[in-house]
Chain A
Amino acid sequence: MWEFMALTLWFTVSCLVVTVLGAILLRRIPKDVLERP
């Protein structure tokens, strides 16, 4: 069971890292650059 759960967890983390990295970039990049058309 642990292999099944570990792979599921690894997949979940992989997906959520995309969102977390996006959030970090949104905090780090200045607002005027983020919202420039």
Chain B
Amino acid sequence: MEFEILGIIVAYYLIVLAIGFYCAKLTKTSLDYLVASHRFGVLLSTFCWFTTYFSAVSVFGFTGGVYRAGWSLLWLPCMWAMGSILGVAIAARLRRTRFIVPQEFYRIRFKAPGLQTLVAVLSIIAILISLIVQLKAMGIVWSLALGRPFEEGVILATVVTLIYTVSGGLFAVAWTDVVQGVLFTAVLVFGGVWNLDKIGGVGALYAAAAAISTPPTIGASPTPPGLLVTALGLYTPFAILTLYLNWTPGVAAHVRYTHTMQAAKNVKTAIIMYMISWPILLVLYLCMGFVALGGRVLIPTMPKGMEIDWIFPLIFKTYMHPVMAGLLFAGLLAAAMSTIDHELQLSAAMATVEVKTYYPKLSDKSLLWMARALTVVLTVIAMIITFYPIGLIIEFSAYMWGILGISYFGPMFFGLYIKRINKLGATAGVLGGLIVFILWQALWGTRIYGIIPAGMGVLVSIVVTFLASYATAPPPEEHWKPFFPTAGETKKQ
């Protein structure tokens, strides 16, 4: 075990815990805990948005993908950026009205409390199951860094995350995000620049990567020369189109982003957080791409027992001083924790708001403590399903982004821009999309021309939302009014 690395990770844990305890002083009411009382300025909104977006799975998955299939993996962040283009448009309308958690949109815009509860339950299940990979990532970082047991890493990082999140609620999530975001941005940019410098610039990297023909892992098929630098890589053009359909709506209206929009102090802040985040993400993805492609040049085949997703830490451990490697591992933990903390806090907030809907007489103090207790309970559930995953849950985890995309995108995006969308349209859209998605997944999976089932679910959800809305009576003005510009507002002031 290398003590420099351990020391840096422990120091990082102590810093985020200290921030959590400080933020406990800012968290006096349930509204503080659940949505930071809608008080985030540009700094907190931006860091909360982009660090929640950027997870350890992003680092492992993206760099592993580039290592295996090359530069064509850049299509994925293109799709996520496209989702954020729609996300900005959602922010411009959604934040006009204040509410605590995203599912409340269905009660306010469509007067559909039953649909609100259904979507809330689906969202909480989806978040908890999707957390499995994030929690596992923390265990992987721990064992790669120190050679210690995987379970130890998961439990330690989860307990630290839980303590600061329960202490300071969304304020603690966002203030720790500032430290975590700065840490992992600095490390990833350093890695990218170091790698380019080592190989001799983009031209040399291109030439070296184009010549590679070795398999990425021992026993795998050899890589065709030139594959790593083509635009399509292992994709077909049709697969890229359906992947756009799958990812773009999921990112656009994901609950963790619409929740951050609500935590922002106004519409302006909710828009600016996107404007700042994406130029930073542009640099981060390019740097990760350089590290992974450069990693393939430096280490053409992963050593025995190592997975392709571990190329980033492998490069740092092989070539860097232990202090730099320690900073990288702390940065990877920061990337994981900054996503996990918000998702745990958000799922507890969603559950708390639903309890409040059915028990409106609960005092604010009771709500605050209930939110904290629910955060603990949901964290324990997430850990249990991580350590003891039953087959059904693993199978289900592939559906999570799809379920969230179908549950929110069509009714929310079009409900914010088209007055005619009504309660029946939204309900039919969500249910129709979910049914088609589940049936398509169960019957065909991706066997029909590589079409992604979630993409079909989103398409059906949009079409059904329109058809059912236009076939039935238009909604009364008070339903859409909170989200639409008023008559005197259409001209620029």
- A residues contacting B by CB (< 8 A) are 1, 3-4, 6-8, 10-12, 14-19, 21-23, 25-37
Contacts and interface: CB of A to CB of B under 8 A. Distances in A.
A7 B485 CA distance: 38
Contacts of A7: 71-72, 74-75, 231
Contact of A27 (B88, B89, B206, B492): B492
Contact of A1 (B206, B274, B275, B493): B206
Contacts of B204: none
Given A17-B85, A19-B275, A11 B78 contact: yes
B492 A30 contact: yes
B230 interface: yes
A18 B492 contact: no
A9 to B, nearest CB: 10
Interface of B: 38, 71-72, 74-75, 77-78, 81-82, 84-85, 87-89, 92, 96, 98, 206, 229-232, 265-268, 271-272, 274-279, 281-282, 285-286, 485, 489, 492-493
B229 A3 contact: yes
B271 A15 contact: no
A17 B282 CA distance: 12
Interface-central residue, A6, A21, A23, by most chain B CB under 10 Å: A21
Contacts of B485: 33
A37 B172 CA distance: 21
A16 B278 contact: yes
Contacts of B286: 8, 11
A7 to B, nearest CB: 4
Contact of B272 (A11, A21, A22): A22
Contacts of B285: 11
Contacts of A15: 77, 81, 278-279, 281-282
A23 B72 contact: no
A33 B96 contact: yes
A18 B82 CA distance: 8
A36 B265 CA distance: 8
A4 B485 CA distance: 43
A1 B231 CA distance: 10
A29 to B, nearest CB: 6
A4 to B, nearest CB: 5
